[in-house]
Structure formats: structure tokens, C-alpha cells
């Protein structure tokens, strides 16, 4: 996708290093950071330098490749690989793409015999997964674009655009495809407290693409849906259970309820790597609890141009900060995937994943 007219991917490997966009600085600054080893890559995932389901998966895959690149040859190799694998697994608990990528890289490397062969296989598989993620999201855009009528307003929550994946994104891929096809499409981006990914990231990347976008307070979405000022809701997902229940950024469930009450279609867009057939339903999806500081403080650039953190709650008050919620399958109109739009139920999901 475009940044100041130049094509970028969100994350890639450069020799033994991983390079990625520093998402915590957007929209105020655009920087590429270099992650020299798997520990730095794991820390970048944990601290949300890189975030978003597909981007986390790619980062984990590249990080696992770095584990093999750093592993010693000899007796300590297996213990080093296991330690790196567990370190990367422990970074974020909800996003299924992370676990999918780690297991794929390990399986590819373990099929080789010597350490040099393992390194080659790990790097090759990590790059294959990143390319597949970008291609899957492009296909999600192609399947989802016909859902968007010319002149429609699409509401989205959090950021599931190209910053959240290797390229194209999930929820925003249909918007980009429709826009490039000449449709007049407008986006309402929920601010997405507490980290404000909608205000910071979604609005930024849509404006880079030239798609009209307005940021709204999270609690404004229901009113605008009821007034008929939204025609379609599309969000991403961090994990989709076998029965179609979907975990996404906190607040998504509320948007699905509002859409249902207003008679609006509510779609979730995600590549098949986000589906977890081992997870029977949404109740089995682990929900990450993040630091209370994300709720108690806001961070940004002040009028003087300096970055600062400001407390918005009284001293001594605590906060709860679940990072995700689960939208039940019955509230989801359809799941937009790289293999088409599928029904959010166990049979349809199992059939597509079996192909």
C-alpha cells in the first residue's frame, strides 16, 4: 500500500533482520524499525510496535526464522529453538495467526536435517507465509468489494487495514478494492479506545489511499446506524472459533448488536489462517488483559509538537482493560475470506478449511 506515494509492506525480512513500521508513532511520524534478533521481534509484538492479526502472524513467522538463524549448531540447538518458540508464543495470547505461523515455521525447519538446511527452510517458509497473507487479503478485497454499493458508508472498528496485515488488510481490503474500482465509498472509523487504533491508524492509511474517512467516538456508532448514515459494517478478527464466533478488538460485539438492532449487515473479514478449528466456540478464546495505564492515560502529540502522556482519570482509580471481546456467530452476516464469503457456522467453516 501507499505511504506518501511509495509502496510499502507492513513487515519484511532483510537478511537476518526483520523490518517493520513503528505503528505506535502513526499518524504523527512514519518510521521503519530494524529488529536484529528474535528477542527484539518478540518484544516488538508484545509492545505493539507491530500489531494486527496478520502482521503479528508475519512477525512471529519471521521471528521464528530468526530463532533458527541464531541457534547454535550442536547439543544446545534444540533447547535454544524451544526457548525462542515459547518466547514468541507468550507475546500475545489471542491472535490465532501468531500460533499458526510459529507452528508452520517450526514444522518446515524440523523437516530438514542439518542446521543450515533448517535455516534455509525457516526463512523460505516465513517469506511464503507473508506472501500468502498479502495475497489472501487481496482476494478478501475482491470478494468483499461487491458488498459495497456505490456511494455507501462503511463503518469499521479498530484497524484491520494494511497496517494490520502484510498488505491490503482484511476489513479495509474491500474498501480499497471498491475505491480503486471507481466506487464512491466513505468510511466511518470508530476511534477504538483505549489505544485509538481507528483514529490513529485506520484514518491515516485511508487518507493515504485517498478514501474519505471520518473518525467518530466509539459510542456514536449506534446513533449513526439508527439514523441510516451507515450501510454496512465490516471488522476484522483475531481468532474465529470453529462455530463462527469471532474475537476482535474490544467494542466489536457492541457494534454487532447495534447493527442487528438497525437491520444492517455485519461482516467479519479474515484470512483462513485466523480460523481455529481446535477452539469450539468463543467462550474458549483467551482474552488478553492489558495494562490499566492504557485506559487511565492517553498518549499523543501536543500543540507544541512534543509527544506526551496525559492522565484522564483521577489518581488512585483503577481500570479494567480487556483487549478483545467475542461476537457470537448469530450476529455475523458472513465471513469474508480469500475463498469467498462463507456462513458463520460450524459446517460451512469446516467445509472451506477442508479444501
Q: Which residues are catalytic?
A: 238
Strand-pair partners of 118: none
> CA 4, CA 233: separation in Å to the nearest integer?
28
- What is the dihedral sign for C-alpha 89, 92, 93, 95? negative
Strands 153-156 and 246-249: unpaired
> CA 20, CA 26: separation in Å to the nearest integer?
13
DSSP state of 10: S
Residue ranges of alpha helices (H) inside 11-144 are: 38-46, 53-70, 77-89, 96-110, 115-144
How many residues can be counted in the chain? 355
- Residue whose C-alpha cell reads 534455509 in the numeric block: 120
> CA 250, CA 228: separation in Å to the nearest integer?
24
Strand-pair partners of 324: 249
- Residue whose C-alpha cell reads 482476494 in the numeric block: 139
Amino acid at each position: 500500500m501507499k505511504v506518501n506515494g511509495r509502496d510499502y509492506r507492513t513487515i519484511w525480512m532483510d537478511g537476518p533482520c526483520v523490518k517493520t513500521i513503528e505503528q505506535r508513532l502513526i499518524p504523527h511520524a512514519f518510521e521503519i524499525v530494524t529488529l536484529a534478533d528474535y528477542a527484539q521481534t518478540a518484544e516488538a509484538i508484545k509492545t505493539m510496535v507491530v500489531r494486527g492479526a496478520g502482521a503479528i502472524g508475519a512477525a512471529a513467522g519471521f521471528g521464528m526464522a530468526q530463532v533458527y538463524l541464531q541457534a547454535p549448531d550442536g547439543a544446545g540447538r534444540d533447547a535454544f529453538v524451544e526457548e525462542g518458540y515459547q518466547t514468541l508464543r507468550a507475546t500475545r495470547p489471542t491472535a490465532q495467526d501468531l500460533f499458526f505461523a510459529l507452528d508452520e515455521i517450526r514444522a518446515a525447519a524440523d523437516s530438514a536435517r542439518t542446521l543450515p538446511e533448517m535455516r534455509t527452510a525457516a526463512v523460505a517458509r516465513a517469506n511464503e507465509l507473508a506472501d500468502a497473507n498479502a495475497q489472501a487479503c487481496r482476494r478478501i478485497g475482491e470478494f468483499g468489494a461487491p458488498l459495497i454499493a456505490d456511494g455507501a458508508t462503511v463503518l469499521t472498528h479498530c484497524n484491520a487495514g494494511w497496517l494490520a496485515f502484510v498488505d491490503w488488510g482484511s476489513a479495509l481490503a474491500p474498501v480499497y478494492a471498491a475505491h480503486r474500482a471507481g466506487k464512491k465509498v466513505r468510511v466511518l472509523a470508530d476511534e477504538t479506545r483505549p489505544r485509538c487504533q481507528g483514529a490513529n491508524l485506520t484514518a491515516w492509511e485511508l487518507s493515504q489511499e485517498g478514501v474519505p474517512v471520518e473518525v467518530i467516538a466509539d459510542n456514536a456508532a449506534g446513533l449513526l446506524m439508527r439514523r441510516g448514515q451507515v450501510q454496512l459494517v465490516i471488522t476484522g478478527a483475531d481468532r474465529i472459533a470453529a462455530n463462527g464466533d469471532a474475537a476482535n478488538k474490544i467494542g466489536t460485539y457492541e457494534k454487532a448488536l447495534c447493527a442487528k438492532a438497525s437491520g444492517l449487515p455485519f461482516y467479519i473479514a479474515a484470512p483462513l489462517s485466523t480460523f481455529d478449528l481446535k477452539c469450539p466456540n468463543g467462550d474458549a478464546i483467551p482474552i488478553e488483559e492489558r495494562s490499566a495505564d492504557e485506559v487511565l492515560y492517553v498518549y499523543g502529540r501536543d500543540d507544541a509538537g512534543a509527544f506526551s502522556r496525559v492522565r484522564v482519570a483521577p489518581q488512585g482509580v483503577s481500570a479494567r482493560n480487556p483487549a478483545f471481546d467475542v461476537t457470537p456467530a448469530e450476529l455475523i452476516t458472513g465471513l469474508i475470506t480469500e475463498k469467498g464469503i462463507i456462513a458463520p457456522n460450524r459446517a460451512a467453516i469446516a467445509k472451506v478449511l477442508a479444501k
